[in-house]
Structure 1
Amino acid sequence: MKLLRSLLAASAACVAFSGTAAHAEDLSFGIISTDSSAVLKQRWQPFIDDLNRQTGLHVEAFFATDYSGIIEGMRFNKVQIGYFGNASAMQAVDRSDGEVFAKVLYANGDTGYKSILITNVNSRFKTLDDVFKNTKDVTLGWGDPNSTSGTLVPGYYLFAQHNVPVNSTSFKTVLPSSHEANLLAVVNNKVDIATNNTEELATLEKKHPDRFQQVRVLWTSPLIPSDPLVFRKDLPEATKQKLRDFFYHYAKTDPREKKIMADITGYAGFAPSTDAQLDPVRQIALFQQKQKIAADTSLSEGDRKSQIAAIDAKISALAATSKQ
């Protein structure tokens, strides 16, 4: 009887252990909502299938309706791997126990992409001067709050430089949406102007050249580092290594894999990266925070100066790190 109980206990322990091990290999891969879920699934599923086959992991794609869905999913460990923009990756690292481990490579050799401001080719806006003559008569298609190219970069490099905050006071209407929705809104003359990026515009040109002809680019930003991939820091090291090995070697030689990457958004594969690639975006975010504090009349002069000094110290530290 004792032997039987020992065998049953050992069997139960093995079942419990195997269940835990299997759970550790079940991962959710969150993908930022640049387009509709149906479009993203069509682009990414062949890649996810290869990821599962080559690593032995069981990874399922998760397409949220907005960036915060992926960030919060990682925060509560419902998402373990994420494809982000730089601004949303910064949130995942700071709030969701994330760690940058890779970045995408482009087939054309570019090391990043750019934010753009677009309008319909037949709109009354021919130049930026036309836009900023009277923004209160302009309907703006704005990006997701956590989008690098849709909000953070144009907010800093374009609208802040013209001293125009992006809100309902400055504009006739501000309509936050996805890149795809903003692009279609411009094509169909539903908004006057909209933020977007060169990746989405290139995809439109490739897949719908007739629609591409309806878009005029009014402004182009400095280069934004290519999109990072983030995994949770608390993943087992063996799982992390499987992911690194797969991402770092995928689409390097295999023609079929290269086509899968090209079909996603003109990508050529992935390269190693770290949290350091987020430093330029952190500097922009800190500068915007500094502007808000400087304009906050509820703060005393002493509080304002001390908070601004603290932000300046952080910006200087990031700049020094970037140089190193």
Structure 2
Amino acid sequence: MKKLIIIALIALTAFSACKNKTELDSNGMPQTLTIAVVQAEGIDEIKKVREQIRDYLQEKLKMPVELIYSNDYTGVIEALRANKAHMADMQPFAYVIASRTLKLNPLVTLGNNGKPSTYKSVIISNAHGNIKTMDDVKARSKNLTLAFVEPASASGHLIPRAYLNSIGLNPDTAFKQTIFAGNHLTSVLSVKSGKVDIGCTTNLVFMLMTKAKMINDGDIRVLWTSDPIVSDPVVIKNEVNKDLQKRIQQAYLDMNKERPEILKAYVKIFIKDTTRRSYMVANDTLYNGLRKIAGSIKSLKAN
């Protein structure tokens, strides 16, 4: 019996340590700063660079820093809601969704010559098929399968959904079937393999997959390209100690000069020109455009 009690106490202590790992003390300080990110399956370079950023932050902040990986943006939101993460590297629409119910402070975003970096949404088809233009999509929509990425994706859902609505194609009724692929890579590969007729993604992932030889130059046809979308914010929960928030923000800004090779390696995964890229201070108003688009779509049920 005594032995069982000891084992139980050890288990309880281990559980408590795990449980308290992300809890904040009375000053809003965590034992371990935990950052939630989406894991891009098949793109090992991204995880490698993120671990380098983690190491840099840990050294700079002089406290343990941990990354937790989710398969999708919704998982990142839930990690913040469930107090399993204090921070997140969030896709813009995921931030808009999360900020409806959580108090989040944007810290930084990637800049381009002092202005926020942008990317674009694209709608794609198989280059070897007979869907060559958006006019073809409109004419044949009832026989086509459409793949979004996931509900919390700006480039893979919100922006293309708004565009399709604007040309008279309600994604919920105009197509033979509308699905969520789960991530950008699956959306693109589903188009390539012929599992779906048209798919949505971002131009950055599209170029990244070409670079990684996941697709060839002649595999995919781009049917439509959106206006620029402001890049991802790094956000933190409001209840985290305000001084620590400032230190984290400054650490990202200092990375531009102190560890430029890390930032360059991260940017280079997606784009060729790394010379003008640097972290810059982000603010909530950068994402008001996405909020307006989301508010204009009555059928949108991402929450």
TM-score (norm 2): 0.80
**Is the helix fraction higher in 1 or 2?**
1
Residue matched to 1:283:
292
- Structure 1: distance between partners of 2:216 and 2:129: 15
Displacement of 1:277 in angstroms is 0.9
1:48-197 superposed matches below 5 A: 48-105=54-111, 111-156=117-162, 158-167=163-172, 169-177=173-181, 178-197=183-202
Residue matched to 2:263:
258
Residue matched to 1:45:
51
Residue matched to 2:9:
none
Show CA shifts across 1:156-187 (max 9, x none). Answer: 1x2111222112x4222222021111112222
Residue matched to 1:314:
none
Query: For 2:213, which of 203, 208, 216 is the aligned residue?
Result: 208
Pick which of 180-189 and 217-226 moved more: 180-189
- Consecutive unaligned residues of structure 1, counting only runs of 5 or more, are 1-18, 293-324
Whichever residue aligns with residue 128 of structure 1, its letter is M
Q: Which has the higher contact order (CA 8 A, sep 6+)?
A: 2
- Structure 2: distance between partners of 1:122 and 1:58: 50
Q: 1:210 to 1:149 in 2, by over 3 A?
A: closer
- Structure 2: distance between partners of 1:46 and 1:126: 42
Query: For 1:273, which of 266, 282, 293 is the aligned residue?
Result: 282
Pick which of 109-118 and 134-143 moved more: 109-118
The answer to whether the 8 A contact 1:75-1:97 is kept is no
After the TM superposition, list the runs of 4 or more consecutive aligned residues in structure 1 that deviate by more than 4 angstroms. 19-23
Q: 1:88 to 1:255 in 2, by over 3 A?
A: closer
Q: Aligned to 1:71, what secondary structure does the other structure show?
A: helix
Aligned residues: 271
The answer to whether the 8 A contact 1:32-1:85 is kept is no
Displacement of 1:150 in angstroms is 0.8
Displacement of 1:77 in angstroms is 1.8
The answer to whether the 8 A contact 2:148-2:178 is kept is yes
Whichever residue aligns with residue 203 of structure 2, its letter is T
Residues 1:28 and 2:60 are matched in the alignment = no
The answer to whether the 8 A contact 1:204-1:212 is kept is no
- Consecutive unaligned residues of structure 2, counting only runs of 5 or more, are 1-23
Q: 1:235 to 1:220 in 2, by over 3 A?
A: same
Q: Aligned to 1:230, what secondary structure does the other structure show?
A: strand
TM-score (norm 1): 0.76
- Structure 1: distance between partners of 2:210 and 2:256: 23
Residue matched to 1:317:
none
RMSD: 2.7
- Structure 1: distance between partners of 2:97 and 2:126: 33
